[in-house]
Amino acid sequence: MPASLLSPDSPASDRGRELLDRFPELTDVPGLPQARIVNEYILGRRSGELDVSGRPTDGTFIAAEAVAALPYDLIVVDDAQGLQAKLLGELAPVTTYNDRIDEARIVAEAAPSAVPSADWASLRSSEDPDHETWAIVNAPKATQALAETIAALHAHVTTVIVIGRSDSMSRAVNKELARGFARVDVSPGVGKHRMIIGSRRLSSPSLPSFPKHNTIDHPVAGQLEVRAHGACFSGTKNDEGSALLLTAVSTETVVSTETAAGTETAVSTETAAGTETVAGAARDDDQSTAVPESILDLGCGNGWLLTAAMSVTKAAHGVGVDVSKAAVASAAETAAANDIEVDVVLADATDTEALVDTLASADIDGPADIDGPAGSGGFDLILLNPPFHQGTTIETDTAAALMETAAALLAPGGQVLTVFNSHLRYRESLQTHIGLSEQVARTSKFTVVRSRKA
């Protein structure tokens, strides 16, 4: 693949190099190749060297006045490192939108001149019909996330440019763009990346609506309605780990069975091979289960687990926390759809001090102790289903940070129930960060561990 969209000796190429030379500190920062491609595309379009697909015009007549100022302004979506906003801000006014608030903070630091948008509803169209607004969308993994992004942007932009790795830019991207735009072009690949461009906005688009609806049936909670926005992890589906965790919740907080060795939990869960029963760790005979007064779900996703846990335990207060705007909206709508009252907070649960402050300052009708210092606790039951991927890379730092936060927000006598892929072996880490940790359920893929403060 070529190293650039532009010929090496073109005026636009010279302008692009000059711009990059102004930011030598960005040379080795992840995300620079995508920012450079979009930068070249805009410069090439403005000079008339590139057509709408990002290919050389080869002498085709281009009216200079029609392209010289393209675009009038830009909307940059889910630019994780802020490099696109930083570089493109030198060419046109930039508005940014990030689903994850931790990434939004990074973008704000990298590109302070860009205007952050808190949500899709706050986006505004240019009042001048001759001004073109282009959106740069960093291709998400989930097609539903892209579909909702395009639907949200459609009324505000004239062109949508989706950029991502060439090997992950499937025909689904073309299909979603075609729902709202009459023309869809695929750019040449540059390095490992390429763009797919939607232009000529349709006046009568066939755009999908969100949130999506589904029903999840679980042996313990029964049927619950789930609602999910496009960027919400797992969408309206219930993952096997959360299903196992809910079964453990019902066992650990409501049901106990006496065995010769003491009190032991037994969990049945549906697997691909059928119904599998797994036994938990033995406990002292005098250790009893209790219905929790309050539940905290750190990383609540679509809200099914929190809603189901509230339904099963009849807890008085429930709080969900997630770093994703789509997840927070989904969790709130899932709970409301099932007539379950919970508070859902947009916050980074890996930042313990900030989360404690957020919960303390929020208008939450819940545990009184959360307004105390970190470590004072407040929640009787905390649920953890921590992520272990950052993109395609396996990482455990996020899980460790969530464990520390759980320890800080756990009430005396409370418990943390954590589910994880069994190969990750988190029990030792839970023991270190929280306290006494015992396995209570296990299948061929997932393990649930109960942790209590020492």
Token pair for 386:
């921590």
Cα atoms in the 13 Å half-sphere on the side-chain side of 129: 1
- Residue 226 lies inside a defined structural domain of this protein: yes
Same domain, yes or no: 152 and 258: no
Residues 328 and 386 in one domain: yes
Do 124 and 216 reside in the same domain of the chain? no
Question: Which of 149, 171, 201 represents a domain boundary (last residue)?
Answer: 201
The predicted structure's pLDDT at residue 374: 38
Q: Over range 230-250, report the average pLDDT.
A: 93
Judge whether residue 355 has pLDDT over 80.
yes
Q: Is it the case that residue 224 has pLDDT exceeding 60?
A: yes
Give Cα 138 distance to the centre of its chain. 13
Task: Domain count for the chain, please give it.
Answer: 2
Most confident of 22-31, 154-163, 246-255, 385-394: 154-163
Q: What is the pLDDT of residue 386?
A: 87
- Average the pLDDT over each of 66-80, 85-99, 283-297, 347-361 and give the range with the smallest value: 283-297
pLDDT of residue 66: 74
Q: pTM of the prediction?
A: 0.88
Q: Is residue 273 part of a domain?
A: yes
- Token pair recorded at residue 380: 């009787």
Output the 3-class SS for 304-360.
Answer: HHHHHHHHHHCCCEEEEEECEHHHHHHHHHHHHHCCCCCEEEECCCCCHHHHHHHHH
Last residue of a domain, one of 177, 201, 225: 201
Cβ atoms 379, 425 nearer than 8 A:
no
Shared-domain flag, residues 185 and 226: no
CA-nearest of 166, 217, 222 to 195 is 166
**pLDDT digits 0-9 by tens, 270-306:** 433 333 444 444 344 444 456 899 999 999 999 999 9
Q: Does residue 289 share a domain with residue 146?
A: no
Question: Is pLDDT above 70 for 1?
Answer: no
Residues 218 and 162 in one domain: no
Report pLDDT digits (tens) over 5-33: 999 989 999 999 999 999 998 888 888 99
Position 3 in a domain? no
Same domain, 336 and 378: yes
pLDDT of 254 higher than 60: no
pLDDT at 244: 96
Same domain for 24 and 142, yes or no, is yes
What pLDDT, on a 0 to 100 scale, did the predictor assign at position 281? 41
Who's near 206: CB < 8 A, 6+ residues apart? Answer: 179, 180
CATH number for the domain harbouring residue 153? 3.40.50.150
138 shares its domain with 226: no
What is the mean predicted confidence (pLDDT) over 25-47? 92
Q: For 185-194, 246-255, 428-437, 441-450, which range has the lowest pLDDT when averaged over its residues?
A: 246-255
Give the C-alpha separation, 344 to 324, whole Å. 11
Give a yes or no: residue 340 inside a domain. yes
**Side-chain half-sphere of 319: how many Cα atoms within 13 Å?**
29
| Residue that finishes a domain, picked among 179, 201, 223 | 201
Judgement on whether residues 233 and 193 belong to the same structural domain of the protein: no
Q: Is 52 exposed, middle or buried (0-12, 13-18, 19+ CB in 10 A)?
A: middle
* Angstrom distance (rounded) from CA 103 to CA 82: 8
Q: Are residues 146 and 245 located together in one domain of the fold?
A: no
Give start and end residues of each alpha helix (H) in 162-239: 171-178
pLDDT, tens digit, 9 for 90 and up, residues 384-393: 998 765 544 5
Q: Largest Cα–Cα distance in the chain?
A: 87
Residue 1 in domain: no
Query: Same domain, yes or no, for 278 and 153?
Result: no
416: CB partners within 8 A, 6+ apart: 381, 382, 383, 384, 403, 406, 407, 410, 430, 434, 450, 451, 452
Is the separation of the CB atoms in 316 and 293 below 8 Å? yes
Is 4 a member of any domain?
A: no
Structural domain of 235: 212-451
Residue with tokens 């545990």: 367
